[in-house]
Chains A and B, each alone.
Chain A
Amino acid sequence: LAKTTQPISMDSYEGQEVNITCSHNNIATNDYITWYQQFPSQGPRFIIQGYKTKVTNEVASLFIPADRKSSTLSLPRVSLSDTAVYYCLVGDRGGGFKTIFGAGTRLFVKA
């Protein structure tokens, strides 16, 4: 069971790059790392998923070191609308109940 640890909250300013790190020391060989964004009173929304090294899409990058014991979500040039809770999720193709959302990181973007 891969337990994840994230900072409880982070502050940033508009236009800055934000990096949120998730620790998952007991990640298994077959586990993937997925990040979700959640706004108040909405369901989480998929941001990015990776297995190793670096993954980039149109909204974010995900950096995963060789030992895979942590991962970093990078949000380039954040705006006020990026204020949300960000969850790191670690799990494999096995049973769903082994995949647990971490406590999440509350990101506040200020003008």
Chain B
Amino acid sequence: DTEVTQTPKHLVMGMTNKKSLKCEQHMGHRAMYWYKQKAKKPPELMFVYSYEKLSINESVPSRFSPECPNSSLLNLHLHALQPEDSALYLCASSPEGAPGANVLTFGAGSRLTVL
């Protein structure tokens, strides 16, 4: 299996909702990432789990909460989001937690719309 699977593909939520995005890989990779991508912009790194240890981009607001139940699964919990959080959320994995030196395998993304 050489894929990263993300669910759901599309999500529409109100600003008071709580929802979660899910990501799964079975390549034995020990690092998993959440990226946010706005239209016609490059992906921006939000969170890194390397060997299940979390690193946070300090600019990401607390309404985004990552969770890594095990080395194959990654969740992104969403609460009280704003319309400007509407974007494509990409999950990626790599053998180790260094996206510069390791090859990233991305999922197809979850398209989030916040109303």
Interface residues of A (CB under 8 A from B): 31-32, 34, 36, 41-46, 49, 87, 89-104
Contacts and interface: CB of A to CB of B under 8 A. Distances in A.
Interface string B15-33: 0000000000000000101
Contact of A45 (B96, B101, B106): B106
A96 B99 contact: yes
Interface of B: 4, 31, 33, 41-45, 48, 50, 55, 57, 88, 90-92, 96-109, 111
Contact of A92 (B97, B100, B103, B111): B100
B45 A97 contact: yes
19 contacts: A31-B100, A32-B101, A36-B104, A41-B108, A41-B111, A42-B109, A43-B108, A44-B43, A44-B90, A92-B100, A95-B55, A96-B33, A96-B48, A96-B100, A97-B55, A100-B42, A102-B42, A103-B41, A104-B42
B98 A91 contact: yes
B99 A99 contact: yes
B53 to A, nearest CB: 12
Contacts of A41: 88, 108-109, 111
A100 to B, nearest CB: 8
A99 B107 contact: no
Nearest to A28: B100
A96 B90 contact: no
Given A43-B107, A103-B42, A104-B42, A34 B100 contact: yes
Contacts of B50: 96
Given A97-B45, A97-B55, A89 B99 contact: yes
A1 to B, nearest CB: 11
B100 A90 contact: yes
B109 A43 contact: yes
A83 B31 CA distance: 30
Given A41-B109, A43-B90, A43-B107, A93 B101 contact: yes
